[in-house]
Amino acid sequence: MRKALAAILWINLCCSAEVHLDQKTDRVVVTIDQKAFGSLYFGVDANKPFFYPLTTPEGIRVTRGFPIDPVEGDPVDHRHQKGLWMGTERLSGMDLWENDATYNRPRMGKIVFRDVSRLVSGKDRGELVFRADWVSPASQLLVTEDRTMIFYSGIPHGHIVDVDVTLTARKPVVFEDHQDAVIGIRLNPAFDEKKGGMAMNAEGFRGEAGIRGRASRYVDWKATIDKNPVGVAILDHPANLSSPARWHIRDFGFFTANPFARQAFDPNAVSAAKSLQPGEKLRLRYRVIVYSGRFDVEASWREFAADAAAKAQAESR
């Protein structure tokens, strides 16, 4: 009887492990293991695609609600910081970061969603591939973005999203050395250092004072929400430009992994700006982990980085 019950429980667990992606008019909704995780928003008023919310397997939202779904106590600063997003504040002088539709800024560009080229649900993983155009204030096409987001199922107490983006220049452009780029998250107010939240990088440096401007393979930010320990981590792939990334972080619950920033944090450093000519490509990869309780972020980074290590070993033979 016990063996039969165990078999039934195993079958139920196995069958519930899946990723489901559902495209709507202005978003793609992602469900992991039969529970809502979040959505990629790309409506005409978004000004850049963003993923919101980020949710633990237990249903705890770790991203700030404002301005999409504000709750009492939400800070109302920086309304362009919505969930998880990508962009840069200085692309040949144009801003594709602080570009909320409510802003009126003369050098503000947009990242315009074009289409979904691949949408696959599955038992172990789901895959979303889409294209977006980075355009100037005058609507000139500057960069084409091809982004793949892979969502994994069946991870105890954690959700993992791999973000793989290729940026192709359509005009001569410069990704300038600036603190705001290229992947960012705005967290739930519980992550604020003043409320007990604390970020730590791969080398053990803590908080804004210890992490901001420092190179590291990842940053892992922990907090307690309604007595539940939770965490969010961004992992930088070792094959990325200027890896390990520098980190722009603010103690109120905002952080970014940045391949372009050196002088932004140290005026005496060599610039990390990156120029691209028409047709040139830049590939960047990141892993985002949302979890409850304890999670081995270091082990996840090693697994994420393994393909780069294997490639390097093969090339050395």
Summarize pLDDT for 277-289 with one digit per residue, the tens.
999 999 999 999 9
| Residue 216 included in any domain | yes
DSSP 302: H
CATH number, position 249: 2.70.98
CB 133 within 8 A of CB 112: yes
Q: Which domain holds residue 182?
A: 19-316
The pLDDT of residue 257: 98
Residue 172: what residue type? P
Q: How confident is the model at residue 5 (pLDDT cuts 50, 70, 90)?
A: very low
| Residue 5 included in any domain | no
| Residue 3 included in any domain | no
Collapsing DSSP to helix, strand or coil, 12 comes out as helix
The pLDDT of residue 267: 95
φ, ψ of residue 40 to 5 degrees: the values are: -85, 115
Give residues with Cβ within 8 angstroms of 188, minimum separation 6.
61, 62, 63, 64, 223, 225, 253
Q: Give the number of C-alpha atoms closer than 13 A to the C-alpha of residue 121, restricted to the C-beta side.
A: 14
The pLDDT of residue 310: 59
| Residue 284 included in any domain | yes
Q: Which residue has the tokens 């739930």?
A: 188
| Residue 27 included in any domain | yes
Residue 178: what residue type? H
The pLDDT of residue 45: 86
Q: Is 174 exposed, middle or buried (0-12, 13-18, 19+ CB in 10 A)?
A: middle
Please give the tally of structural domains in the chain.
1
Distances (CA, A) of 209 to 51, 167, 196, 247: 28, 32, 15, 11
Summarize pLDDT for 265-313 with one digit per residue, the tens.
999 999 999 999 999 999 999 999 999 999 999 999 999 999 765 555 5
Evaluate if residue 97 carries a pLDDT over 50.
yes
Average pLDDT over residues 180-193: 98
| Residue 242 included in any domain | yes
Collapsing DSSP to helix, strand or coil, 263 comes out as coil
| Residue 6 included in any domain | no
Evaluate if residue 215 carries a pLDDT over 50.
yes
| Residue 14 included in any domain | no
Residue 41: which of 68, 75, 72, 8 has the closest Cα? 68
Summarize pLDDT for 21-33 with one digit per residue, the tens.
999 999 999 999 9
Average pLDDT over residues 181-205: 98
CB 219 within 8 A of CB 257: yes
Average pLDDT over residues 75-94: 97
Residue 52: what residue type? Y
Summarize pLDDT for 124-158 with one digit per residue, the tens.
999 999 999 999 999 999 999 999 999 999 999 99
- The pTM (predicted TM-score) of the whole model is 0.92
